[in-house]
Amino acid sequence: MKFTEEHEWLRVEGELVVVGITEHAAEQLGDIVFVELPEEGTEVAKDDEVVVIESVKAASDILAPLDGEIVEINGALTGNPGLVNEDPMGDAWFFKMKVEDLSAMDDYMDEAEYKDFIE
């Protein structure tokens, strides 16, 4: 897994990159009450706003960590946004994307570096 400074996690599954937010981010946001996901098939560039999440505290944007195409979204979050609080690093992934250059993930932190970053 890799981690961004925006508290997203990235995991490679075959040819796809799965993207979600970290436990730290979910804790900081508080109770998630709404998640707006992108359309499947959407082409995104790194740092494009892709997902909107709203909590009882604030609204936040999730940015595309890489250039690519959104090929799958986690529809379970639309009906149950609280899943982000329950399992942010597992079942509450936001989207899967196909990227041309997986080596771009090398720019992001590994788990040890991320733990240092949030301390």
Single-letter amino acid, residue 38: P
Per-residue pLDDT tens listing for the chain (119 residues): 999 999 999 999 999 999 999 999 999 999 999 999 999 999 999 999 999 999 998 899 999 999 999 999 999 999 999 999 999 999 999 999 999 889 999 999 999 999 999 99
Q: Residue ranges per domain, the chain? A: 2-101
- CATH class of this structure's domain 2-101: mainly beta
> 46, 68 in Cβ contact below 8 A?
no
- Can you give the pTM of this predicted structure? 0.94
